[in-house]
Structure 1
């Protein structure tokens, strides 16, 4: 794994996090507890800060970055960022699923209990409504989420990734 300082700022990674050996985390990055950063994922806090909550999984090939002196990236708790997704200079609130290959652009806000579908492109300055699914290019709201089903599902995914990470520590 590559974990290195940039401009005197070193990533903060709790002991209970899993970081794959070929993941990269640099600069002003703070991870919460029980996070996992999977193979070939990159978290690059070189031009602004990146703050990541608890039980966040950043899956294989995902890229987390920010916008120079304008937009940090802030990620809440129980967030799943799918394989090869790009999250750039935006805010993801708690209990959010970002689908595989989705792109979240600068200054977007993804409110809690929401899903961004695989392959969706959430264009700059978009505010995603809480409790909704956005899909397409550009991403638009396609439906509301049944919150009773969703709450259990997001918790299950977050807990599964904590379990998967434990397999690599054995």
Structure 2
């Protein structure tokens, strides 16, 4: 059994030490990924090694709609043996030891180190460059140690996560969306309803965009990254140009301005308005109708102003947009054969 979609990056294809024991529909593995024996890859799971390596040990379990990714030219992702990742989780540009359980909706961010024998409880966020010592259960945002944990409990929680995964409903087929030739929509993404994608924009692997009532309008050169779910159940969703919507974001009926970045795993409540030039930190949430004013770094649950959007952050956001424009061009060419 192999993933539904396997793509190279810079001419490098993923390497599997043995065929995975399961690959769900929409599962995707890209680039310089090395996957150990007895891997289990859930529906819409994504492993993307397109700029650094992803190395995964034996008996790895990646739950439905979860994402492993790297930070281009700075951080690989290294995962040990017997690691279990639940549903809708993100393991990003970090190091994870062996015998670790990462439960549903967890986010592990860039430069973090998780030692052996750790439990990260559902909904936690491991902040960048954090160090999670062995033998503890962690929870919260930021993730903090709650209590010591034994190897037996780690094994029990791993089994519980795996049993809870179960089968997911068969997805409704996406609609044919008329897009500009410069737009990239991954073959594993699903788009339904009135959706307009600006020139140079991209919708990455296993994203799910559904314009149920209102439209979804995406600006030029904006990127919507793996496993993001967008719903337009009322007035619709508008996302400005040159904006990044990172992995596993969930939003409904929002307005996002230009040149903004919505971080990994954020959840935006209906009616949220994000002004131009905003950075919302990974793992953050908003309240219904909340306004995020321009020129600030926001973060927290719910989001609050953490500081100014300085020149370094603006430059980083610009680099991400440019990088994803290039990713979109390359992936479009690989999937369609077009130049």
- TM-score interval w.r.t. the shorter chain? 0.7 to 0.9
**Does the C-alpha gap of structure 1 residues 62 and 155 become closer, same or farther in structure 2, counting only changes over 3 Å?**
closer
Which of 25, 31, 46 in structure 1 is aligned with 2:29? Answer: 25
Name 1:3's counterpart in structure 2: 6
Rg (Cα) greater in structure: 2
Structure 2 CA distance for partners of 1:119 and 1:154, relative to 1, 3 Å: closer
Contact 1:113–1:150, Cα closer than 8 Å, also in 2: no
In the alignment, what sits opposite 2:81? 77
What is the root-mean-square deviation in Å for CA atoms of aligned residues? 1.9
Report the TM-score when normalising by structure 2. Answer: 0.45
Could you list the runs of 5+ residues in structure 1 that have no partner in the other structure?
Answer: 165-170
Give yes or no for contact 1:95–1:154 (8 Å, CA) kept in 2: no
Which residue is 1:34 aligned to? 38
Distance of 2:65 and 2:139 partners within structure 1: 21
In 1, Cα distance between equivalents of 2:57 and 2:134: 18
Structure 1 residues 58 and 65, CA gap change in structure 2 (3 angstroms): same
TM-score by length of 1: 0.87
* Matched length: 160
Contact 2:86-2:105 within 8 A present in 1 as well:
yes
Deviations along 1:127-156, one digit per CA (max 9) or x if unpaired, are 001000110011111111134x23643675
1:62 is matched with which residue?
Answer: 66
Q: Helix, strand or coil for the counterpart of 2:156?
A: helix
- Secondary structure of the 1:30 match is strand
Match of 1:150 in 2: 153
State whether residues 103 and 119 of structure 1, in contact with CA within 8 Å, keep that contact through their aligned partners in structure 2.
Answer: yes
Tell me: higher relative CO, structure 1 or 2? Use CA pairs within 8 A at least 6 residues apart: 1
| 1:111 corresponds to | 115
Q: Choose from 28, 47, 50 the match for 1:43.
A: 47
Q: Is the 8 A contact 1:80 1:157 kept in 2?
A: no
Measured against aligned partners, the alpha-carbon deviations of 1:19-74 in whole angstroms (never above 9, x if no partner) come to 22310110010000001111000100001100000000001000000111111000
